[in-house]
């Protein structure tokens, strides 16, 4: 399956509606280290307990002691860290302390998974941005990666996300191919564009926040107010593309089997002596086609795994 994750779910009523619509991961946000204890949010998180649905939680602060209290109080399925990881020019900074912190979280709360956002600029903004390098550094302490859009002027200082703008899909696809853990695609995803994005990137999941929120009269997204019609459309769009991608993967896998059989038959038919050039050319062509198809199929390897 392809995971559907929706963020800014803060109340039991919103959580119930998302579960009814088939959302897999329900994401919440803790805005303040001073006002982190929210009984209604705790009730919303608890609705996923002993169900196939999962809860994830973003703390918009970095104080370790408060994060530990948050995890002990809410007990989400996932804690989601979305630090910017770079300075305003895109240079890597402070990874060592964040990696040490994730390691400590895993040690203290082994039952809680860690989602780590990997910043990726929009296409053409910063060609040398070190997204893959940062992902490699965090992979051994993370359970899921989530792509999100990096901007110099981030909406929340020191963090990435809620821009409503898309990431560079080529970099996102490269992350999917490089990573040994699942990757959830985020960054400007909407019911209108999620199918095209997933078809290109073949990620393990799709996340939406800004573009499944309600909008004000000027068309701007309203924070923490979901448009459940758009959430429903987003879920349906992901389910449709998941079916298409699964069928595509099965067709390619069947074709790969037939190519391997054809290659084996060709090799067995080679004479012991005096192999002709055209025979070798045919075998080499089959080998090239098999290699290309294997590379294509590698992009699907986690798109349908359970998370």
Per residue in 68-83, pLDDT (tens digit) is 999 999 999 999 999 9
Residues 178 and 281 in one domain: no
Would you call 281 helix, strand, or coil by DSSP? Answer: helix
65 contact partners, CB below 8 Å, separation of at least 6: none
> What's the confidence (pLDDT) of residue 90?
85
Res. 272 pLDDT band, cuts 50 70 90: confident
Residue 18 domain flag: yes
> What's the confidence (pLDDT) of residue 89?
80
Residue 166 domain flag: yes
Please state the pTM of the whole predicted model: 0.89
Structure tokens at 74: 């809410």
Residue 303 domain flag: no
Domain count, the chain: 2
CB 30 within 8 A of CB 36: yes
Residues 176 and 293 in one domain: no
Q: Tell me: the pLDDT tens digits for 224-251?
A: 999 999 999 999 999 999 999 988 888 9
Residues 124 and 251 in one domain: no
Structure tokens at 10: 């803060």
Minimum mean pLDDT among 16-20, 98-102, 120-124: which range? 120-124
121 contact partners, CB below 8 Å, separation of at least 6: 90, 129, 149, 150, 151, 167, 168, 171
**What is the domain extent for residue 274?**
247-298
Residues 212 and 289 in one domain: no
Q: Tell me: the pLDDT tens digits for 12-43?
A: 999 999 999 999 999 999 999 999 999 999 99
CA distance 253 to 246: 10
CA distance 97 to 83: 12
* pLDDT > 70: percent of the chain: 98
159 contact partners, CB below 8 Å, separation of at least 6: 60, 82, 83, 84
Residues 251 and 119 in one domain: no
């Amino acid at each position: 399956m392809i995971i559907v994750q929706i963020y800014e779910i803060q109340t039991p009523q919103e959580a119930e509606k998302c579960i009814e619509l088939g959302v897999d991961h329900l994401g919440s946000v803790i805005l303040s280290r001073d006002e982190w204890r929210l009984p209604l949010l705790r009730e919303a998180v608890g609705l996923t307990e002993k169900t196939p649905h999962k809860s994830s939680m973003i703390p918009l602060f970095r104080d370790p002691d408060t994060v530990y209290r948050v995890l002990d109080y809410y007990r989400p399925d996932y804690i989601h860290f979305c630090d910017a990881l770079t300075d305003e020019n895109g240079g890597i900074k402070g990874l060592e302390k964040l990696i040490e912190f994730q390691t400590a979280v895993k040690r203290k709360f082994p039952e809680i998974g860690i989602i780590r956002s990997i910043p990726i600029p929009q296409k053409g903004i910063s060609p040398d941005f070190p997204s893959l390098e940062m992902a490699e550094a965090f992979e051994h302490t993370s359970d899921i990666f989530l792509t999100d859009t990096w901007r110099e002027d981030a909406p929340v200082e020191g963090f990435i996300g809620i821009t409503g703008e898309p990431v560079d899909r080529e970099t996102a696809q490269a992350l999917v191919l490089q990573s040994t853990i699942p990757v959830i695609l985020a960054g400007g995803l909407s019911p209108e564009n999620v199918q095209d994005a997933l078809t290109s990137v073949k990620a393990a999941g799709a996340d939406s926040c800004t573009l499944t929120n309600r909008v004000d009269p000027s068309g701007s997204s309203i924070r923490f107010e979901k448009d459940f019609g758009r959430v429903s459309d987003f879920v349906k769009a992901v389910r449709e593309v998941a079916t298409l991608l699964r069928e595509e993967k099965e067709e390619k896998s069947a074709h790969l089997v037939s190519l391997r059989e054809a290659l084996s038959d060709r090799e067995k038919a080679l004479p012991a002596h005096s192999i002709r050039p055209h025979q070798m050319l045919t075998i080499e062509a089959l080998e090239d086609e098999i290699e290309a198809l294997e590379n294509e199929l590698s992009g699907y390897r986690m798109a349908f795994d359970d998370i």
